[in-house]
Amino acid sequence: MHSSPLVTSQWLQTHLQDPDLVVIEASIGKVIGKEPIVYESPVCIPNAIKLDIETDLSDLTSNAVHAFPSLEQMRSLLKRLGISQRQTLVIYDNQGIYAAPRVWWIFKTFGFDKVYILDGGLPHWLQERRTVADVYKESTGGAVDEELQLNPTYLKSSDEILSNIQSPSFTVVDARSEDRFMGRVAEPRQGVRSGHIPQSVNLPFPNVLNEYFYKSPQELGQIFGSLSLEPSRAIVFSCGSGITACILLVAAILAGRQQVSLYDGSWAEWGAGEVFPVEVGA
């Protein structure tokens, strides 16, 4: 396999029957920032397992919105699904590119090396009239990876974001719309202030996409270059609740950036916490 986070629909079609391939559909109930694709009847890529970010891959014991899953939660999920780190995972998205990057980053954070995103997702797969199914694969269960560990460097806490304002060592890039970033509109979540993290930079996530696909590495390099970020400077990605931030995170990797991480609490945490400073406007 190549080093890119992405695979093409042709690659996936060719390898669908590989015994060590696991196909995962990433789904989320509420789509914010783009017009959601609604399917009239069940349709999926053959042998796909469906994972829901809001239930399967969120720590439901946390008060945070879409909190990153705990180590024990991931061990339990992987045992139920029969998934191990020796397998190759391909994650696709029924919205094109929306929830899949978040699921990809979760697996990467827990040490999976052979995990990829289907560029174009299910919409492109259907456009090409490739093989489909109307039921998801039933999980059979299996042995758990006892070596499974969470890499803490892939995530940033609110304390780290706060201290970075006083002594900057990384740049926060916010994936929300410009109107939300500037504080021109009310936030969709009740009790959350409008505005953005001081010194953060805005890059709305649709800007790195061409419909269902990521833009080319060259285009993405120009986009990140236009933000005037130092090439060697670490980037931490934020959004409303840690989902669309991962779209930018993958785009940054495609653009050649290597020091990337996720502020998992994102604006749902920062905007609701009265102790955190907020900027409005430019």
Which H/E stretch holds residue 180? helix 178-182
Residue 277, sorted as left (phi over 0), alpha (psi -120 to 50) or beta, turns out to be beta
* Residue 163 token pair: 């201290």
Query: Is 239 labeled as catalytic in the residue annotation?
Result: yes
DSSP string, 243-273: STHHHHHHHHHHTT---EEEESSHHHHHTT-
Sheet containing 6-7, strands listed edge to edge, beginning at the edge strand earlier in sequence: 6-7, 115-118, 88-93, 21-27, 48-52
Residue 141, sorted as left (phi over 0), alpha (psi -120 to 50) or beta, turns out to be left
End-to-end CA gap in the chain: 43
81, 127 in Cβ contact below 8 A? Answer: no
Of 7, 57, 106, 239, the catalytic one is: 239
Catalytic positions are 239
